[in-house]
């Protein structure tokens, strides 16, 4: 049955593994995936443990519906203490790894310790082996996965791996699977590298029985048809996430030249989504998804001839595009391929590089700092070389690879103004200063600046206010430049996205960019049909609240509070310079932001300093941390 998958506790220092069942009461409180990962982190990683300490935990989790007929059910969640923030480090990735892990008998791997020499885990039909990976160390992401499959003589082995960035403990290194599936953000790859853990490979042939197979297939077909019939899904299946660029660039909320501007304007037209199609061979998908939102691309001629891969996604259009003043699709494709091979979070890389470019522009960084590399906007060779230096921890790249907090200390506190981050975590290249709900979302996110913890993208659609009230249960302004009700809007999306991540399904097939997509009540029915568990819409909202507050408490234990819940100062001080008339000239109003933040805290049941109250913790059943990693002998 779905509920019979186990958790494996792996101690790399001792080279031992212990298996345990996952109690039903934990399922009812946290579901799985992201929720259960943070249950284990909260209880087993006290504040004195630093991110690269052996005692830090790396948790890999499959959602409750992963691997089943459910919308986009191939997601994997990876959690750890974040090297950039010393708080929540969390990644969510597509592909097919978690379904394979479930078919191999496990829903969660809770890993601590540090191996003396490089190792990898092999998860196979109820057992976890710790195998030598010395021969894999130094390989890129692609070669590592190919070699593991060859060693096991099985093309169906799925692996989570790190590349050179993770081995070198670049603070924003990724965990990767497949050609482009990235457990980006949160420094999970760096922590994996600190443990001398090169990969986790899975192969399983165990049945995954469900409560009502025919009912599940029937209901999945119904909601899949509804989701795929939306305009959002159809366009996504044709253009991929680059479709987000066109409206962002035209309207004026796309970070440009390190957020000095909010669009490239006419110079940005070469990067519009349709201009990627000449390089696209076909559209492909993750496990369990009918949308097919990713491009398979190839460059046939020119400077970057021979580059072949998947993507690029919208994030890469900032990293090797607008953030550094470039507007060449072939360069973006080349950069995407390099980042995937290195195993580095392209989003964080772009934010750090563009900051360095502006510091060079303003004289805070000189040729002496860069070793003669001239960081001039639009210089593709300079961008690619700086990226390589960061991944290889060479020269100035060694400083930037440590993340914003340490790099600001190195270059001087006054340089922090130009660093676009929250809690030390770099921001997506979206420019949120004209959209209050987006600004609140990146500022209050548990993992730092982040667009996937709570972003209410439908705020941009100006939907009827009576519809919004029926969706959120509260009055919310449909003007995306307004502050009214946006604290509640961000709260609601936090809960929904946590539930989605805990079920192991894709945010793109929920109320993210399409108001007609599946929501709480649909997931309640899916859970009942798949597992037999009776969990209502209201129960799911409480679970989302509990899980999110657990993450908040992890940050609180590590010294975070209201002072850490603000967007970059640039958003308050500098108005947008470009864009459509209703966006040009906008900046955040500090007083209105403070009121919106108060509303958000009140909705959560947190005090004025952003700390969950005792009553809230009691209501959610969150107790003081109690170590529950079993003794491994």
572 closest CA partner among 456, 436, 442, 455: 436
pLDDT digit string, tens, across residues 293-350: 889 999 999 999 999 999 899 999 999 999 999 999 999 999 999 999 999 999 999 9
Q: What's the pLDDT score for residue 291?
A: 83
The interaxial angle of helices 537-557 and 486-503, nearest 10 deg, is 100
In contact, 467 and 523? CB cutoff 8 Å: no
pLDDT digit string, tens, across residues 434-460: 999 999 999 999 999 999 999 999 999
Q: What is the pTM of this model?
A: 0.96
Q: What's the pLDDT score for residue 292?
A: 85
In contact, 435 and 481? CB cutoff 8 Å: yes
The interaxial angle of helices 404-411 and 346-362, nearest 10 deg, is 10
Question: At residue 633, does pLDDT exceed 80?
Answer: no
What would the 3-class secondary structure string for 596-621 be? HHHHHHHHHCECCCCCECHHHHHHHC
Pairing of strands 181-183, 197-203: unpaired
- What the block records as the tokens of 235 is 């366009």
Question: At residue 1, does pLDDT exceed 70?
Answer: no
The interaxial angle of helices 486-503 and 465-472, nearest 10 deg, is 50
Please state the rounded mean pLDDT for residues 342-369.
97
Task: Categorize the per-residue pLDDT at 234 as very low, low, confident or very high, splitting at 50, 70 and 90.
Answer: confident
Question: At residue 383, does pLDDT exceed 70?
Answer: yes
In this structure, of 153-167, 414-428, 510-524, 555-569, the range with the lowest mean pLDDT score is: 510-524
Please state the rounded mean pLDDT for residues 387-396.
98
Q: What's the pLDDT score for residue 293?
A: 86
Alpha-carbon distance of 477 to 479, in angstroms, equals 5
pLDDT digit string, tens, across residues 475-502: 999 999 999 999 999 999 999 999 999 9
Alpha-carbon distance of 631 to 44, in angstroms, equals 12
In contact, 431 and 253? CB cutoff 8 Å: yes
Question: At residue 587, does pLDDT exceed 90?
Answer: yes
Please state the rounded mean pLDDT for residues 426-431.
95
Please state the rounded mean pLDDT for residues 368-396.
98
Q: What's the pLDDT score for residue 530?
A: 95
Alpha-carbon distance of 594 to 352, in angstroms, equals 28
pLDDT digit string, tens, across residues 200-209: 999 999 998 8
Kindly report whether the peptide bond that precedes residue 312 is cis, defined as omega within 30 degrees of 0.
yes
Q: Is pLDDT larger for residue 405 or for residue 633?
A: 405
Domains of the chain and any CATH numbers: 2-203 (3.60.9.10), 240-422 (1.10.569.10), 436-620 (1.10.599.10)
Neighbours of 603 (CB within 10 A): 17
- H or E element: which one contains 444? helix 436-444
Alpha-carbon distance of 448 to 84, in angstroms, equals 9
Question: At residue 16, does pLDDT exceed 90?
Answer: yes
Please state the rounded mean pLDDT for residues 387-391.
98
5 closest CA partner among 79, 67, 56: 67
pLDDT digit string, tens, across residues 21-74: 999 999 999 999 999 999 999 999 999 999 999 999 999 999 999 999 988 899
Q: What's the pLDDT score for residue 385?
A: 98
247 closest CA partner among 230, 231, 229, 271: 271
Question: At residue 515, does pLDDT exceed 90?
Answer: no
Q: What percent of the chain has pLDDT over 70?
A: 100
In contact, 505 and 498? CB cutoff 8 Å: no
Q: What's the pLDDT score for residue 554?
A: 98
In contact, 124 and 202? CB cutoff 8 Å: yes
In contact, 247 and 462? CB cutoff 8 Å: no
């Amino acid at each position: 049955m779905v509920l019979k998958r186990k958790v494996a506790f792996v101690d790399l220092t001792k080279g031992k593994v212990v298996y345990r069942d996952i109690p039903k009461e934990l399922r009812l409180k946290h579901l799985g995936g992201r929720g259960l990962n943070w249950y284990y982190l909260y209880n087993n990683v006290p504040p004195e443990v630093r991110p690269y300490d052996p005692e830090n935990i790396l948790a890999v989790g499959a959602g409750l519906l992963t691997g089943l007929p459910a919308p986009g059910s191939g997601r994997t969640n990876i959690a750890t203490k974040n090297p950039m923030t010393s708080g929540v480090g969390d990644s969510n990735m597509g592909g097919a790894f978690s379904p394979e892990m479930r078919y191999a008998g496990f829903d969660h791997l809770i890993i601590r310790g540090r191996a003396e020499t490089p190792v990898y885990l092999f998860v196979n039909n109820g057992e976890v082996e710790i195998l030598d990976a010395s021969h894999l160390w130094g390989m890129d992401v692609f070669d590592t996965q190919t070699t593991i499959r060859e060693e096991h003589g099985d093309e169906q082995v799925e692996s989570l791996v790190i590349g050179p960035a993770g081995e070198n403990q670049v603070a924003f290194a990724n965990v990767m699977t497949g050609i482009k599936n990235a457990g980006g953000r949160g420094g999970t790859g760096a922590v994996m590298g600190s443990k001398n853990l090169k990969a986790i490979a899975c192969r399983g042939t165990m049945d995954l029985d469900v409560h009502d197979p025919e009912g599940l297939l029937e209901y999945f077909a119904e909601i899949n048809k509804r989701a795929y019939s939306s305009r959002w899904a159809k366009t996504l299946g044709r253009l991929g996430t680059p479709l987000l660029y066109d409206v962002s660039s035209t309207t004026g909320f796309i970070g440009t030249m390190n957020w000095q501007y909010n669009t490239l304007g006419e110079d940005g037209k070469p990067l519009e989504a349709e201009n990627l199609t000449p390089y696209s061979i076909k559209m492909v998908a993750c496990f369990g998804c009918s949308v097919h939102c990713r491009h398979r691309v190839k460059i046939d001629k020119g400077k970057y001839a021979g580059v072949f891969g998947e993507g690029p996604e919208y994030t890469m259009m900032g990293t090797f595009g607008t953030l550094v003043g470039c507007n060449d699709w072939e360069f973006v494709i080349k950069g995407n391929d390099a980042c995937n091979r290195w195993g580095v979070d392209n989003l964080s890389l772009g934010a750090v590089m563009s900051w360095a470019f502006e510091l060079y522009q303003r004289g805070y960084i000189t040729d002496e700092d860069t070793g003669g590399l001239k960081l001039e906007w639009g210089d593709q060779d300079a961008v690619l070389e700086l990226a390589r230096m960061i991944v290889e921890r060479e020269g100035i790249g060694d400083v930037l690879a440590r993340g914003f907090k340490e790099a600001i200390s190195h270059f001087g506190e006054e340089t922090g103004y130009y660093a676009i981050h929250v809690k030390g975590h770099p921001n997506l290249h979206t420019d949120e200063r004209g959209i209050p709900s987006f600004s609140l979302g990146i500022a209050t996110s548990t993992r730092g600046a982040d667009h996937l913890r709570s972003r209410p993208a439908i705020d941009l659609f100006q939907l009827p206010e009576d519809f919004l009230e029926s969706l959120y249960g509260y009055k919310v302004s449909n003007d995306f430049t307004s502050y009214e009700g946006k604290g509640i809007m961000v709260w609601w999306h936090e809960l929904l996205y946590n539930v989605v991540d805990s079920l192991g399904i894709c945010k793109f097939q929920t109320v993210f960019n399409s108001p007609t997509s599946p929501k709480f009540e649909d997931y309640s029915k899916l859970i009942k049909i798949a597992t037999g568990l009776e969990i209502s819409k209201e129960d799911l909202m409480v679970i989302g609240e509990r899980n999110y507050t657990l993450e908040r408490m992890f940050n609180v234990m590590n010294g975070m509070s209201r002072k850490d819940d603000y967007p970059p100062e640039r958003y308050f001080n500098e108005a947008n310079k470009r864009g459509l008339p209703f966006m040009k000239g906008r900046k955040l109003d500090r007083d209105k932001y403070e009121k919106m933040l108060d509303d958000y805290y009140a909705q959560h049941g947190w005090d004025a300093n952003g700390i969950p109250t005792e009553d809230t913790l009691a209501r959610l059943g969150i107790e003081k941390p109690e170590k529950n990693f079993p003794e491994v002998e």
